[in-house]
Chains A and B, each alone.
Chain A
Amino acid sequence: MTTTPTPTPRWRALTQHNLFWPVAVLVVLLLINVPFTPGFFSIKMTDGHLYGSLVSIVLFGSPLILVAVGMTLVIATGGIDLSVGAVVAITGALTCSYISDQADQDSLAGVFLAMGIGLVAAVVCGLWNGFLVARMGIQPIIATLIIMVAGRGVAQLITDGQIITINSEPYKLIGGGYWLTLPFSIFVVAAVVAITVALTRRTALGLLVESVGGNAEASRLVGIRSLRIKIMVYVFCALCAGIAGLMISSNTSAADGNNAGLWIELDAILAVVIGGTSLTGGRFSIGGTVVGALVIQTLTTTIYTIGVPTQTNLVFKAVVVLVVCLLQSPKFRAKVFGGKFGSGSGAKGGGTSAATPADTAPTTAAAPKMEVS
């Protein structure tokens, strides 16, 4: 909290920015590491590769960021995609089984073909989800539950219940290789995020997605092809999951139908929620999602580095989720902080009663106006 005796509008505007809480949590988590890991923020150059805690957080968080970015668009249309973990497993399984069947696993053409096959399978899963949600009008959580349940079975079927290991140098690059001193996967993630942001914020596409999420029927009536938009976001989400699947299987040089991408859908949803995108749809923030995914990865790393037994990882995650969700809930803020939230330390300033209704208002636009009047 701030120490300024009187609440300033700038502080208020800052706390109401949708990226404030995710970034604050991320910064706090990063700072917690400093006393435990000397030189936490330092980045060393070894063998032409950059090493450091920050680099590894981004490296290990790459698949999650990818999946979460895809998930953001799905959630923005008011949907949810539970099948991403299974898609990760299917893509990895198909690609690795194709590569392992080849005589020369290092052949570039073979690796590209294998990746193509994996990604096509991911797109098919996305089309199926989109078809069920948009065309058949089935609730997204249920429609995608089908592939979540069956998909892992399919992945195990592809790998014959085994863990397929491969030994392919070119394929290794995607998830475990380095390029220009940085992990290659960081470039992949950066490209996907940049393309997504460009497509959604530099064109009308993002607006259309938000409009479909706000009210699909109304969007359809004003002439937006809401069906097509919905199908598109599921395909995009599955494609992102597919790329994440390539990354995960490439990093371990193995496809595990049972465990690849396990729980990643839940982590991705968390990342989206932490990032401030509402699960009811209609609004999204790609930046917030990326920060959210980094929060989750940093949390995992922090738990490792400060020496807390790794098994408590999940408990910490649960607590962080709850705290972030509670802080985002207007009702919680109103109840617990008595409406003085965002106006500095309420107890110290005594609080102004005029600020109470403004604080409980969920929209950022309404709050400053009410204070001025």
Chain B
Amino acid sequence: MSTTAQPPKTQHSPGTASASTASKAARLLGDRRLPVVVTATLFVVMYLVGLGRYQNYGFGEPQVFLNLFIDNGYLLVAAVGATFVILSGGIDLSVGSVIGFTTMLTAWLVQKQELPILVVIPIALGVGAFGGFLMGYVIHNFEIQPFIVTLAGLFLFRGLCLVISKESIAIDDSSVSSMAQAQAQLGVGFLSIGAIIALVVLAIAFYVLHYTRFGRRVYAIGGNEHSAMLMGLPQGGTKIAVYTVSGFCSALAGLLFTLYIQSGDPLHATGMELDAIAAVVIGGTLLTGGSGYVMGTLFGVLVLGLIKSIIQFEGTLSSWWTKIATGVLLCAFILIQRAMTARKKT
């Protein structure tokens, strides 16, 4: 995208060596892909550090790498949904609650109502997408801030979890557990169904965002809603669709989480919206909307996942280091973004 715009810039700059390096640095900072590259590099560096430190404990096994996808597939799906919303300039705080609600609903329908899982899946997805649609509808039609509407969504779905049951419901349905245990052999290791679905969702999102009209509209609305409206883009429909996508992705993430953990619990995935938002931000998507890549989100999720597995390998460290490390990373990436947007404006 920005590569085509760059050659003219260099022509304007003076030919001295120092100026050309300065413009190179400027160009690099102005490149929208920079944060994705930085995150990817960070991931590789962290992986190498992990390799150096825990090689004797089997960190180098390919399966450890594949486990990143298995253990974080649901987060990837949720973060992909959040990427759509954030690209459009909105925010969805209901992600974690919808995931929790989906685990609860699925567990309740499968365990207590004894519905076959294949019937439950479309119901769960439908409920999630409908919830997203409703939030998008209210946001667009009544011009209430997304922050507040999805906050109400957060309360609503978490409350509905508790309405279904205060206790967690373990799933011992045989079809669910066989689904959860199904593995795709890759020669060097295996992936779970959840991980594969997450990668498929990522591929679809990549296609939709970069190769379809809908994707262009999402970027356009996030870039400048007013201009998009003046251009005649169907802004309302796009906005509602974005929240529907997010709701659908959250429900799908909830299903994957159910498979991963094989139970429903009213407290599942509390605060996961923040993990998802953090993954999107670390992946280089601007929170103001209009700029970013869903591939960046993948690296954001992988980096967060890698922090968790490194802490697991470290053994002595406690879970709160995950939070602190995530916060520090978040801070670093926000400052990088800031440096980039500051450059663009001048």
**Cβ-defined contact, A279 with B145, below 8 A:** yes
**Interface size, A (range):** 35 or more
Contact B148 A325 (CB under 8 A): yes
Chain B residues with CB under 8 A of A314? 155-156, 158-159, 162
A137 at the interface (CB under 8 A from B): yes
Q: A266 to B323, alpha carbons, bound, how many Å? A: 19
A149 contacts B278, C-beta separation under 8 Å? yes
* A102 CB-CB contact with B under 8 Å: no
Assuming the contacts A146-B327, A161-B318, A312-B162, asked whether A321 and B155 have C-beta atoms less than 8 A apart, the reply is yes
B338–A150 touching, CB < 8 Å:
no
User: Are A266 and B154 also in contact (CB < 8 A) when A311-B166, A311-B266 are?
Assistant: yes
Cα-based distance from A148 to B331 in the complex (angstroms): 11
Per-position binary interface string of chain B over residues 298-328, scored 1 when its CB falls under 8 Å from any chain A CB and 0 otherwise: 0000000000000000000011111110111
A317–B334 CB distance below 8 A: no
By DSSP majority rule, is chain B's interface helix, strand, loop, or mixed?
A: helix
Q: Are B342 and A137 in contact (CB under 8 A)?
A: yes
B318–A145 CB distance below 8 A: no
Query: Complex Cα distance A156/B334, Å?
Result: 24
A317 to B97 Cα, complex, angstroms: 14
- Is there an interface contact between B154 and A153, defined as CB atoms closer than 8 Å? no
Q: CB within 8 A of B287: which of A141, A330, A331?
A: A141
**Is B143 a contact of A331 with CB atoms below 8 Å?**
yes
Residues of chain B with a CB closer than 8 A to A157's CB: 320-321, 324
The reply to whether the CB of A352 lies closer than 8 angstroms to some CB of chain B is no
Contact of B321 among A137, A153, A321, A330 (CB under 8 A): A153
Chain A residues whose CB sits within 8 angstroms of the CB of B327 once the complex forms: 146-147, 149-151, 153
Q: Mark A288-305, 1 if CB is under 8 A from B, else 0.
A: 000000000000000000
Interface centre among A152, A322, A331 (most CB of B within 10 A): A322
| CA A145 to CA B162, docked complex, whole Å | 27
Contact A150 B323 (CB under 8 A): yes
Q: Which of B145, B274, B324 contacts A148 (CB 8 A)?
A: B274
Task: Enumerate A260-289 residues with CB–CB distance to B below 8 Å.
Answer: 266, 269-270, 273, 279-280
Docked Cα-Cα span, A309 to B163, in Å, equals 8
Min CB–CB distance A97 → chain B (angstroms): 14
Question: Quick check: B277 and A153 within 8 Å, CB to CB?
Answer: no
Name the residue on A nearest B321 (C-beta): A153
A143 within 8 Å of B by Cβ? yes
Task: Answer yes or no: B191 CB below 8 A from chain A CBs.
Answer: no
With A138-B334, A266-B154, A325-B149 already in contact, the answer to whether A149 and B159 are too (CB < 8 A) is: no
Q: Is A142 an interface residue (CB 8 A)?
A: yes
Residues of A within 8 A of B326 (CB): 149-150, 153
Q: Across the two chains, which residue of chain B brings its CB closest to A82?
A: B274
Known contacts being A139-B287, A151-B327, A316-B159, is A329 close to B143, with CB within 8 Å?
yes
Given contacts A138-B334, A321-B152, A331-B141, contact A153 B322 (CB under 8 A): yes
Q: A156-B318, A312-B163, A314-B158 are in contact. List 14 more A-B contacts (CB 8 A).
A: A138-B335, A139-B287, A146-B330, A147-B327, A150-B326, A150-B327, A153-B324, A161-B320, A266-B151, A269-B148, A273-B148, A311-B266, A315-B162, A325-B152
| Chain A interface residues (CB < 8 Å from chain B) | 80, 132, 136-139, 141-143, 145-154, 156-157, 161, 257, 266, 269-270, 273, 279-280, 309, 311-319, 321-322, 325-326, 329-332, 335
12 contacts between A and B (CB under 8 A): A139-B288, A142-B287, A143-B334, A152-B320, A156-B318, A157-B321, A313-B159, A314-B158, A318-B153, A318-B154, A321-B148, A330-B143
Q: Which residue numbers of B lie inside 8 Å of A, CB to CB?
A: 91, 138, 141-145, 147-149, 151-156, 158-160, 162-163, 166, 266, 274, 277-278, 281, 287-288, 318-324, 326-328, 330-331, 334-335, 338, 342
Query: Ordered nearest first, which 9 A-B pairs have the shortest CB separation?
Result: A150-B327, A153-B323, A314-B159, A311-B162, A315-B159, A318-B156, A318-B155, A156-B320, A153-B324
